[in-house]
Structure 1
């Protein structure tokens, strides 16, 4: 299992990818973003692999 050293929020990912926050949230929920954890509680925020999100952003910029 790879070690994840850098994480970000869905909000951070939406900014990096140039997506509306609601789209990034939906992508996380559907597995289209690299989710490494889902927090407990009412909001259940997603924690994403920042390196993978940055790679996605670079690919989208091409």
Structure 2
């Protein structure tokens, strides 16, 4: 589970927008986030979380 979470977060964590103007950096971050949220791996992770939250309520608090 931790591996999947790290894999999904990696594009956001490695994105460097420090050299961009504020608006351009925000736009780039939102585009990367949107692409990440639409990946098959992220959707599979969300399905897994929703399926298990009734049995493991702590997992739903992430």
TM-score range, shorter chain: under 0.3
Give the structure with the higher percent helix: 2
Normalized against structure 1, the TM-score is what? 0.25
Q: Which has the larger radius of gyration?
A: 2
Greater RCO structure (CA 8 Å; 6+ sep): 1
Normalized against structure 2, the TM-score is what? 0.25
